[in-house]
Structure formats: C-alpha cells, structure tokens
Structure 1
Amino acid sequence: MSHHFIHADPEKCISCRTCEIACALAHIDGAHPTLNGSNFSPRLQVVKTPKVSVPVMCRQCDDAPCARVCPHDAIVQGKHGLDVIQSRCIGCKSCVVACPFGAINVVVHEPADTGHQAMPDCETHKCDLCSHLSGGPACIAVCPTAALRLVTGADLEKQIHEKRLRTAREDAAIRHF
C-alpha cells in the first residue's frame, strides 16, 4: 500500500499560516463555516524559529508509533495514510506522546451545561490529507509560495531511482579519475 504524505519545504515557507487556516476551515462541519477560538483546530502547525519556519504535520508513517501504542486501535492504516477512527478514541493521549514529530493533538470538547454531569467528548486530530475533499489537501491548495506538496509512492520511487543514478555516475567518475 502506497502511503502519501505532505512534504514541507522550509526554504519556501514564509510563516504566513495560511495553511493552518485552510486546514481548520476544511475540517469544520456546516455549510457556512466560521472560525473562532473553540473550533480553530488545524491538523498542522507552523513552527517558526529565528532561522526557519515550516509547517509540522503527520508524516503518515508506515510503522507508526502512534498506531502501535493506541490501546483501542483508533489509529489505523487507511488507503493512503493513517486514519483515526474517532468512535474508538478514549482520549488517553498515548498517541500524542508516541508521535516523534508532535503532529497529533487530542482536542477535548467540554459538554454543554445542562445541569447533568457529563463526560467531555474528545477527538484526536492529525493530518488526514483532507481525504474528504476531492481536490486534495487544503493546505497545499492555498500555500502562496508552493512550500507544500503531496508526495506519493511513485514520487518516492522516482526520487530513489534518481539518487541511485546520481550515485552510479559519481562512482563511475571517481573510478576514471
């Protein structure tokens, strides 16, 4: 199975956070989504340091640490990446701790005050490659500098092939020196 993932180029990222806004909007239910403090929950976060800025998101790992540690198998391998089955998630945050990239967040929704004691509801948020959108990931579509691109299995095979060819040429050049 070929996993897709989004590659972020820190040389092109200008830290505008347009990708975060597009992601948050893409994951709001309703015909006329409006972002506010309670529903702004992008599946990627732009990290800015004095030397670099780049969006950080799920890498769709083949042997995903987050999936291995989930006690309820809520993180599973889907068609092109990792999917979260929200109905299985208990909000234990084991996946958050296990993710080496800090790309998973558990969002807790406090219950409405109805006079009855209720447990908060939670959702595990990670990049889902906007699998619900026919046009692909929203972040890629809006990035003004093309710092984000979708990488497929075919793209990886092509890169590997090109690297091997380059290595072979360099080795041949050294032998003829």
Structure 2
Amino acid sequence: MRARGRIVAVLAHLVGGALILAGSVLVWATVVPADAPSVELDGTTVAPALAPVALTLGALGLALTIASPIVARVLAILGVAVVGIGATHLAQRVATLGDTIADAASAATGVTTLDAASTTTAAPALAVVGLVLALASAVWAFVTAPHWQRRQAQQRFERAESGLAWDALDDGEDPTASGRADERGTHDR
C-alpha cells in the first residue's frame, strides 16, 4: 500500500494532465459558413488556460515522486486548487461556446451577423475526464501521503570493514604506521 499510494498518485496526476492537454489541443468545433471556408476551433482558441493547467498538474505529479509526506500533502492541496481553476475556466468556456462559434464564423467571413452551421466534438469531455482524474489523484495523495515510505536516499548505511589500506585512509589513519612497518621490515631482510 505504501509504495502503491505514491505510484497511483503520480500516475493519475500525469494521466489527468495528459487528458486535459489532449482536450485543450483537439478541435472543439467546426464552423461551416455558407460562402467561406470552414473554420476549426481548437481548445487553445476556446479555452486557452487549459494547457497551463495540464502542465501544472503534470509538474505536481512529478514533484510527488520525491516529496516527503508533508510536502506531498501541500502539493495535493495545490493540485485541488489548480483543478478548481481549470474547472471554472472550462465551465465558463463551454457555457459561452455558442458565442465563440458565432464570433469565429463572423471573423472568417467578415459579416457581423451570421448564422453558420457548426459541429462540436467530444474534446471538452476529454478535458473534464482529465480534471476529474486529477482531482481524485490530489485527494488520494492527500489521504495516503502520511503512509508513504521515505525515499531510499535518506536512509543511512554503514559499510563493512574490509581490512584494506584504503579503509584505513578513509578512517583518517596511516596504513603504513605501527604494525605494518614491522611487517615490512621483516620482508626486506
């Protein structure tokens, strides 16, 4: 449970961020004016804040890989805040999607009052799924962080004595002093 808690939180943050990013770059709607070429509206045009939200959630997920339990809880709270910002932005943009489509059609044809046929895609739903997954991941990280194991690099290990001259040098001793000088003297004779 301990190692899996961190892994689940990190992967869910990364996958949620990837889904949001995919939803922010895919085509949301296609407008087909009568006497003009069709216009595709992607997520960066309709909801420009989703890409930074996605990248921030991915960075938070990567930060969870090295975070202590206390820092992980702080990152989880930041994750919830970022998801809230993204959800608010997405809801506002989806609510005004009809106006955005009409503005794009008017800009494509130069006519200010224009009714054009349009089709929408499921890209906003992909961003919603990513936001829900990121929110669940942040809550999971907050709940399970106290049970995460400390990183292996924080543990101390003692080395075994090998009896070599290098070990004596590491300990600050002169390996040629004392008993070793006597042994050398007997070998020279």
Higher strand share: 1
- TM over 0.5, yes or no? no
- Scaled by the length of structure 1, what TM-score is found? 0.27
Which of the pair is proportionally richer in helix? 2
Task: Answer with 1 or 2: which has the greater Rg.
Answer: 2
